[in-house]
Amino acid sequence: MKKDVLSNVHSDKLFEQVYDYLLERIRRGEWKVHEKLPSIRVLAAEFEVHRLTVFKAYQLLKQNRKVYVKDKSGYYVQPGSTLPLAAQQDPIVAAYVHESCLSEIHQVEAVYQFSKALLDPNLLPNRYFSEYVKKVFDIYPKVLGTYSTTQGDLELREALCRYFADKHHFDLTKDEILITSGSQEAIDLIARVLVKPRDTVLLERPTYSPAIDVFRRQGANIVPIDIYPDGYRLDQVEELMQKYKPRLFYLNPTFQNPTGYTVPAEQRKRIVDLAAQYQCLLVEDDPCPDIYFGEEPPPPFFAYDTTGCAIYIRSFSKYIAPGLSIAMVACRPSFMTYLVKAKSLSDSGTPLLNQKIFLHYFFSERMQQHLEKLRTALAIRKEIMEEELSATGWQWNSPAGGFNLWIKLPESTPMEGLLGKSMEQSITFVPGSICDPRRELNSWIRMSYSYLNELQLREGLRRFVSVFRQLSSGRKSDHL
């Protein structure tokens, strides 16, 4: 029977094969959330393996929060372990569909989109931008008739080397840069190249939600590291690196999404040392270092790295030109070879036209002046949001940059109800649980101040607070 699913030629240990098989069945929804799973005895007989093998598989499922144990009566399916219902209904699709929690929220049409950590398009110098597009066609008349190289346009990579050498003293060559179509692609490529099932990946808690989805899809054993307004607890970082020997630590240390927190320079240096000591790669995602409201943030981890453990992903998409979707990865040549191969399997290079437009636009003097205006405009929008929420009693740390407010609502807030009622009022926000590798943080939400204009911000927030109050007073009267 099922023993056929456990292969003799497979390099994984027997209990790991049982783990993979059970996990796949859980994901497909063969057992519902909170449903009891077959006993160790039954499965051992089914697989024709020792009971200890099944026990070890269950222990790993428990450790990875796919199952939980209740009153010593057996193992039960943990919420969040199964695929969304739509995928489960079609067993063929279920094998291929993966979660993408944030994009599901973004697909909701709403007037007051506090869920979008994107820039209001009116804040970009659109007319100036289109002048540049015309200029690019004059400079490169054959640009539409040519592919880029897979690694990216040489002229752009050379310009980026000079830019980072000036800005952060990066010691980089053009061969250590890969141009990608947004940093989302970069995270995906890195995960494909580095992470195989059960490799441990450290993620901040909370973190950028699509990163959880990508590393989960790879079958990673995800271990969260808490992030606080003043960074990480270094003893926790060291303990987890020592205990799990993780493959990588994915981090977003500058105006973090969703919290807005920034990891201080001393911690960055120390974490680079720890990563070198425990041979853990640091994958730093840096989509908005220029959006600061006071002091400039500290240099990226990459600037402190001398052993090659840091990989730097820099997006130029969010506030430079979202429509071009340009990002880059900087890493050492040994790893770059694998990344370029992976990129060639997904496309044969980021569109050349986009790269050339970006090259001329980003390095222009006007763009640099524009960043100054952008910081002021976003600082004002953040203040408006804080002002509108000031009477609510909700808690947040005022971010020193970025696009989001990470807000703690009262513990008793019924999050699903709040999201549903808000959507009825054409309001969206990001529930904290989807930013949490543990799918907890149920009383937190992410609200972005970057996408809506000042009037929409005020109006949307007033409506949102009113939805919240109605829901809370309804609940109170239910209890009377």
Contacts with ligand PLP by CB under 6 A lie at 117, 182-184, 208, 252, 257, 285, 287, 315, 317-318, 327
Distance CA 283, CA 274 (A): 14
Q: Give least dist CB 318 to ligand PLP, A.
A: 6
Q: How far is the CB of 256 from ligand PLP (least distance, A)?
A: 7
Nearest Cα neighbor of 272 from 304, 230, 227 is 304
Q: Nearer to ligand PLP by C-beta: 117 or 272?
A: 117
- Locate tokens 């370029």: which residue? 340
Residue nearest to ligand PLP (CB): 182
Q: Specify burial of residue 137 (Cβ count, 10 A radius: 0-12, 13-18, 19+).
A: middle
Least separation, in Å, of the C-beta of 117 and ligand PLP? 5
Minimum CB separation from ligand PLP for residue 438, in Å?
A: 19
Cβ distance to ligand PLP smaller for residue 317 or 413: 317
Q: Which residues make beta-bridge pairs with 298?
A: none
Decide: residue 143, CB within 10 A, 0-12 exposed, 13-18 middle, 19+ buried.
middle
Listed in sequence order, the residues at least 6 apart from 477 whose beta carbon sits closer than 8 Å to its beta carbon are: none
Judged by beta carbon, residue 150 or residue 257, the one nearer ligand PLP is 257
Choose between 250 and 464: whose C-beta lies nearer to ligand PLP. Answer: 250
* Smallest separation (angstroms) from ligand PLP to the CB of 460: 20
C-alpha 52, offset from chain centre: 37
Which one, 257 or 350, has the nearer CB to ligand PLP? Answer: 257
Q: Which is nearer to ligand PLP, 287 or 460 (CB)?
A: 287
Q: How far is the CB of 375 from ligand PLP (least distance, A)?
A: 17
* Shortest reach from residue 317's CB to ligand PLP, in Å: 4
Name the residue nearer to ligand PLP (CB basis): 321 or 389. 321
